[in-house]
C-alpha cells in the first residue's frame, strides 16, 4: 500500500514537472515568435515620455529617437544607441526583456537616450566607449537609475528577489 502511494506521488511530481516545462517552452516560443506585449510597449513609452520631459527640463529641448526591439543581438547586450548616416536609433534586446524588463525600463532606456543625446550634440567619444563623465551626468539628468558603463548584473539579480 505504501509503495503504491509513493509511486502515485512520484508519478504526480513527474507529470506536474512535464506540464511546467511544456508551459515554459510554450511561453518562450510565443515570446520569441511574436511582437512584444502591449504591456511592455506601454512601459517603454511611459519611460520614454519621462526621459523626454527630463531632457526638456535639463537641456531646453527634447527629441524623440526611434526605439527598435530586436532579437538579433548576440549575447546579453541589453541595448545600444546607433548613429549611422546622421540617423540616431536605440535598439533594445528582445531576448533579455522577458527576464529583465524592469532593468531595461529603469536603467537601459535612459542609458541609451544619454548616448543618443550625446550623438545629437556632436559628442563622439572613443575613450571609455562613450561613457565619459559628461555622458554619466547626461544619463543621470535623463533619469537613469544606474549610469554605469555597462550592465550591473548584481542590480538585476537583487531586483528580482522578494525582499
Domain CATH for 92:
3.30.2010.10
State whether 47 and 69 are in the same domain. yes
What is the pLDDT confidence band of residue 150, given thresholds at 50, 70 and 90?
low
Check whether 74 has a pLDDT greater than 90. Answer: no
For residue range 84-133, list pLDDT tens digits in order: 888 999 999 998 887 889 999 999 999 999 999 999 988 876 555 678 88
- C-alpha cell at position 145: 537609475
From the CB of residue 114, how many other CB atoms can be counted at a distance below 10 Å? 27
- Asked whether residue 53 falls in the same domain as residue 29, the answer is no
Residue 80 has phi, psi (to 5 degrees) of -160, 150
Do residues 55 and 116 share a domain? yes
Q: Are residues 30 and 78 in the same domain?
A: no
The alpha-helical segments, DSSP class H, found in the chain are: 2-33, 38-59, 94-103, 109-120, 133-141, 153-160
Q: Residues 4, 42: one domain?
A: no
Is 41 in the same domain as 95?
yes
C-alpha to C-alpha distance for 120 and 124, rounded to whole angstroms: 9
Going by pLDDT thresholds of 50, 70 and 90, the confidence category of residue 64 is very high
Q: Are the beta carbons of 78 and 106 closer than 8 angstroms?
A: no
Q: Are residues 4 and 79 in the same domain?
A: no
Please report the DSSP string for 47-84 in residue order.
HHHHHHHHHHHHHS------EEEES---TT--EEEEEE
Whether the Cβ atoms of residue 117 and residue 138 lie closer than 8 Å to each other? yes
Statement to judge: residues 75 and 148 lie in one domain: yes
Q: Which residues of 36-59 are buried (b: 16+ CB within 10 A; e: fewer)?
A: beeebeebbeebbeebbebbeebe
Number of domains in the chain: 2
The reply to whether 12 and 57 lie within a common domain is no
Q: pTM value?
A: 0.75
Its domain, for residue 94, covers 36-160
Amino acid at each position: 500500500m505504501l509503495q503504491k502511494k509513493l509511486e502515485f506521488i512520484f508519478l504526480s511530481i513527474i507529470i506536474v514537472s512535464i506540464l511546467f516545462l511544456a508551459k515554459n517552452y510554450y511561453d518562450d516560443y510565443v515570446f520569441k515568435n511574436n511582437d512584444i506585449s502591449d504591456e511592455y510597449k506601454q512601459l517603454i513609452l511611459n519611460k520614454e515620455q519621462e526621459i523626454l520631459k527630463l531632457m526638456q527640463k535639463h537641456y531646453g529641448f527634447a527629441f524623440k529617437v526611434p526605439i527598435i526591439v530586436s532579437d538579433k543581438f548576440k549575447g546579453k547586450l541589453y541595448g545600444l544607441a546607433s548613429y549611422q548616416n546622421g540617423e540616431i536609433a536605440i535598439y533594445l534586446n528582445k531576448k533579455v526583456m522577458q527576464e529583465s524588463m524592469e532593468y531595461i525600463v529603469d536603467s537601459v532606456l535612459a542609458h541609451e537616450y544619454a548616448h543618443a543625446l550625446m550623438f545629437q550634440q556632436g559628442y563622439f567619444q572613443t575613450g571609455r566607449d562613450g561613457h565619459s563623465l559628461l555622458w554619466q551626468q547626461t544619463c543621470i539628468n535623463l533619469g537613469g537609475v544606474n549610469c554605469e558603463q555597462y550592465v550591473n548584473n548584481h542590480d538585476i539579480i537583487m531586483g528580482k528577489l522578494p525582499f
